[in-house]
Amino acid sequence: MNKATLKKITALEARPHRQAILRPGQPVETVIYKGDDAPSSAHFALLIDDEILAIATLVQDTFPLNGEKNAWRMRGVATYPHAQKRGYGSMLIQASIDYALAKGGKYIWCNARNAALVFYNRNGFTQHGEKFEIPGAGFHYMMYKKIA
């Protein structure tokens, strides 16, 4: 197998993959996120042989636990089922942390699906609070990591 590479992509390029992996059968509007097109936002894709296998979006968003403005929220972190359990998601998290640190970020956080809790814990994230439901996307937990 060829080496995985990370590439910055646009929100427009990320959306079809978000929809296919996270919200199949739902309208594309469900995967258009607040902050997607902000100049500070970043969208990453992990590719092998020019095929996108995993994606992640990072938007600057206030850390809800303490009001820290220089915090970054991961959204739409997803790997196609046939490519899971190969470390691709962890590579995307590291790319997101590196990006946030370069911008002076202090925290990185997300709302993680129940099925992803172990993944985020393995990547150094802490769970906060009780589960909550996002309509059309299921139950989630707030997760965060102090990076600086």
Residue 68 is predicted with a pLDDT of 96
Q: Where are the domains of the chain?
A: 5-109
Mean pLDDT by 10 residues, the chain (148 residues): 91 97 91 96 97 98 97 97 96 98 98 94 97 88 98
Q: What is the amino acid identity at position 64?
A: P
**Phi/psi of residue 22, each to 5°?**
-95, -30
CATH code for the domain defined by 5-109: 3.40.630.30
Residue 87: predicted pLDDT: 96
Rounded alpha-carbon distances, angstroms, from residue 37 to 24, 33, 58: 22, 9, 11
Measured distance CA(138)–CA(2) in Å, rounded: 35
Q: What is the pLDDT of residue 1?
A: 62
| Dist. CA 92–CA 53, nearest whole Å | 11
CB 89 within 8 A of CB 54: yes
Q: Which of 55, 11, 30 is nearest to 136 (CA)?
A: 30
